[in-house]
């Protein structure tokens, strides 16, 4: 009986060790692909933030860019799933943000809820930029990190 218990403990310890062990650093090609993806999305977010700054000054609506995220989303999802999830949520809010900019009253006034929507998008875009930049330089997530991210994503999407 003791041998069986010891074998089970050893098996569980080995499994935990595999789950907690960090993956080796990304190979050069994967890191270059991730760097390109992060740079493209970062530039796109910077352009959108510049446009929202112009909107704050002029109250003239505009169409936000979303092409780089569409191009590089697969790489981000594979290499930095948590950062991808944050970026995807931000990009999903673009239509609502654009609509809020278009709803202007007399003399280009903006309702408080629309102003808060635009400002909230701006703040979250800055946060996503920081998250993406940090994720690109961080070591890859462990298998346990990936499992937790996958389970968390399923929980919130259901």
Quick one: pLDDT band at residue 155, thresholds 50, 70, 90?
low
Is residue 23 pLDDT above 70, yes or no? no
Is residue 9 pLDDT above 70, yes or no? no
**Distance between CA atoms of residues 36 and 72, nearest Å:** 8
The domain ranges of the chain are 24-140
Quick one: pLDDT band at residue 21, thresholds 50, 70, 90?
low
Instruction: Tell me the whole-structure pTM to 2 decimals.
Output: 0.75
Residues 6+ apart with CB under 8 A from 81: 141, 146, 149, 150, 153
10 Å CB burial of residue 124 (0-12, 13-18, 19+) is middle
């Amino acid at each position: 009986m003791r041998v069986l218990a010891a074998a089970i403990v050893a098996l569980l310890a080995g499994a935990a060790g595999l789950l907690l062990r960090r993956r080796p650093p990304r190979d050069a090609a994967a890191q270059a692909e991730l760097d390109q993806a992060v740079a493209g999305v970062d530039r796109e977010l910077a352009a959108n933030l510049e446009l929202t700054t112009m909107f704050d000054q002029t109250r003239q609506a505009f169409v936000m860019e979303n092409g780089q995220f569409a191009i590089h989303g697969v790489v981000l999802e594979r290499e930095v799933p948590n950062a991808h999830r944050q970026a995807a949520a931000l990009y999903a809010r673009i239509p609502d943000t654009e609509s809020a900019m278009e709803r202007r009253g007399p003399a280009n006034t903006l309702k408080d809820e629309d102003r808060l929507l635009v400002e909230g998008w701006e703040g979250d875009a800055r946060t996503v930029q920081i998250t993406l930049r940090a994720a690109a330089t961080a070591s890859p997530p462990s298998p346990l990190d990936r499992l937790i991210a996958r389970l968390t994503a399923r929980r919130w999407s259901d």
